[in-house]
């Protein structure tokens, strides 16, 4: 499914059920039935990932774009990528609403449409260890298998560091070959703990 296939439907149908949130001094519009609604994992990144200067960023799994748009205020360029075309629509819409001109979002299945190398990659992946039945399911399902694939492919697209959110269970299941790992922050809930990791590629 391409973004052009859903744009008219998003405008005509989805926008009727859109909500408006004010996050990190941004006005964010999204339909929470179609796009991940920013939650504690999002705020963990917003609170602890501060990138500045002449740097390029890939916001993998951009969703509504709030992370990428926040980083675009202090970085030269940010590319958002998401397999969900509805997410890409809303991310680009939010860039327009907030007059952020150095951010754009594209449809990509992880790195399938990504070209080039970025100084930093930020990824807040879906945690559910379920099998996705369609594109929308992929916004919530993926888990350890998805992150394993991401870790294999990301090394070819990053110069400096990767910031990745995982659950404590995912952290224990994954192997971290080719990366130096630092826990930047964590947040505990009654049912799980999430970790924000800083990954530095090694030879």
Pick the more confident residue, 3 or 83: 83
Pick the more confident residue, 132 or 48: 48
pLDDT over 50 (residue 1): no
pTM, two decimal places: 0.91
DSSP secondary structure string for all residues of the chain: --HHHHHHHHHHTGGGG-EEEEETTEEEEE-TTTSPPP-HHHHHHHHH----EEEEEEEET-TTSHHHHHHHTTEEEEEEEES-HHHHHHHHHHHHHTT--SEEEEE-STTTT--S-EEEEEE----B----SSTTGGGTB-HHHHHHHHHHHHTTSEEEEEEEEEEHHHHHHS--TTEEEEEEEEEE-SS-EEEEEEEEE--
Radius of gyration of the chain (CA): 16
Residue entry with tokens 């970025």? 118
Residue 146's pLDDT band (boundaries 50, 70, 90)?
very high
In this structure, the chain runs to a length of 203
Residue 191's pLDDT band (boundaries 50, 70, 90)?
confident
pLDDT over 60 (residue 5): no
Residue 14's pLDDT band (boundaries 50, 70, 90)?
confident
The CATH superfamily of 3-201 is Vaccinia Virus protein VP39 (3.40.50.150)
Q: How confident is the model over 64-118, as pLDDT tens digits?
A: 999 999 999 999 999 999 999 999 999 999 999 999 999 999 999 999 999 999 9
Mean pLDDT, residues 167-196:
93
Pick the more confident residue, 6 or 59: 59
Highest mean pLDDT, choosing among 94-103, 137-146, 168-177 = 94-103
Mean pLDDT, residues 138-150:
83
Q: Count CB-CB contacts under 10 A for residue 184.
A: 16
């Amino acid at each position: 499914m391409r973004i052009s296939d859903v744009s008219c439907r998003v405008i005509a149908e989805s926008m009727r059920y859109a909500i408006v949130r004010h996050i990190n001094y941004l006005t964010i519009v999204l339909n929470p039935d179609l796009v991940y609604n920013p939650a504690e994992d999002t705020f963990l990144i917003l609170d602890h990932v501060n990138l500045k200067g002449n740097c390029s960023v890939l916001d993998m799994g951009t969703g509504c774009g709030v992370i990428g748009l926040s980083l675009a205020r202090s970085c030269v360029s940010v590319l958002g990528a998401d397999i969900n075309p509805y997410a890409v629509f809303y991310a680009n819409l939010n860039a327009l609403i907030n007059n952020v001109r150095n951010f754009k979002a594209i449809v990509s299945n992880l790195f399938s449409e990504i070209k080039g190398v970025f100084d930093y990659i930020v990824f807040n992946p879906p945690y559910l260890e379920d099998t996705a039945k369609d594109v929308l399911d992929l916004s919530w399902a993926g888990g350890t298998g998805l992150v394993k694939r991401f870790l294999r492919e990301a090394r070819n697209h990053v110069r400096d560091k990767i910031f990745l959110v995982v659950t404590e269970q995912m952290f224990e299941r994954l192997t971290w070959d080719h990366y130096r790992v630092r826990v930047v922050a964590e947040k505990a809930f009654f049912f799980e703990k999430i970790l924000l990791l800083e990954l530095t590629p090694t030879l």
